[in-house]
Amino acid sequence: RKEVEQDPGPFNVPEGATVAFNCTYSNSASQSFFWYRQDCRKEPKLLMSVYSSGNEDGRFTAQLNRASQYISLLIRDSKLSDSATYLCVVLRANAGKSTFGDGTTLTVKP
Amino acid sequence: NAGVTQTPKFQVLKTGQSMTLQCAQDMNHNSMYWYRQDPGMGLRLIYYSASEGTTDKGEVPNGYNVSRLNKREFSLRLESAAPSQTSVYFCASSEALRGLMGAANEQFFGPGTRLTVL
């Protein structure tokens, strides 16, 4: 079993739709969680960190459920510019490194 | 600030050839990483350096070597390239310190090197 698993999609949604991605992790020692965005043929960039209490940044909301070992990303009012691959990342600080999921591809259509 | 820079951007090698991928960061970060990304997949960690003077194996280290030349630079070497090493290679850096519990450490990535081994 992979340490970090994501639904690969693709998710094809119309503009204005709400879409949610889930990510599960297997190591209960995981401590920090992130969502990264990767555009086609570009490098990943941090979208948002995920805090225990959940956090929101504009149209994006991230949630963490430690008991069930999953994190989620909710995108409201989808824009064409949201089309990208979204990578779930889990950090074990005592290991000094992060593990990336394989990514979920989102395409927002007019 | 340039952030994280990588050279070269593209490279084609023949099987058995060697090459070094260069990476440098100007953010005074302690930790640096090398990843590879194959089509349709996430990033897999090859090697990382938690701090200057240390390097550790990641998930897929076979066929690679690394050097943390100084705090700014972290190079990746392929001694004898194989077609299975055809991939996009990303270098990244973060402030992370080994053993710093609970730290949220954003990784900043370079633009990548697209390597093809024939």
Check if B38 contacts A (Cβ < 8 Å): no
Q: Profile chain B (118 residues) by mean pLDDT over runs of 10 residues.
A: 92 97 94 91 89 90 96 96 97 70 70 96
Distance CA A15, CA A36 (A): 21
- A78 by Cβ neighbours in 10 Å (0-12 / 13-18 / 19+) ranks as buried
* Interchain CB distance below 8 Å, B103 and A100: no
What's the confidence (pLDDT) of residue B105?
74
Residues B90, B43 contacting (CB under 8 angstroms):
yes
Rounded percentage of chain A residues whose pLDDT exceeds 70: 95
Mean pLDDT, chain A, whole residue set = 90
Among A residues 51-90, those touching chain B with beta carbons less than 8 Å apart: 87, 89
Q: Which residues of A touch B103 (CB under 8 A)?
A: 32, 93
Closest alpha carbon to B100 in B43, B30, B25: B30
Q: Inter-chain contact B104–A94, Cβ cutoff 8 Å?
A: no
Average pLDDT over residues A3-11: 89
β-strand pairing of A104-109 with A11-14? parallel
Distance separating alpha carbons of residues B109 and A71, to the nearest angstrom = 23
State residue B85's pLDDT score: 97
CB A72 within 8 A of CB A60: no
What pLDDT, in 10s, does the model give residues A64-108?
999 999 999 999 999 999 999 999 998 876 666 788 999 999 999
Which DSSP symbol is given to A95?
G
- How far, in Å, are B59, B61, B91 from residue B44 at the CA level? 6, 10, 11
Q: Is the dihedral of CA A38, A39, A43, A49 positive or negative?
A: negative
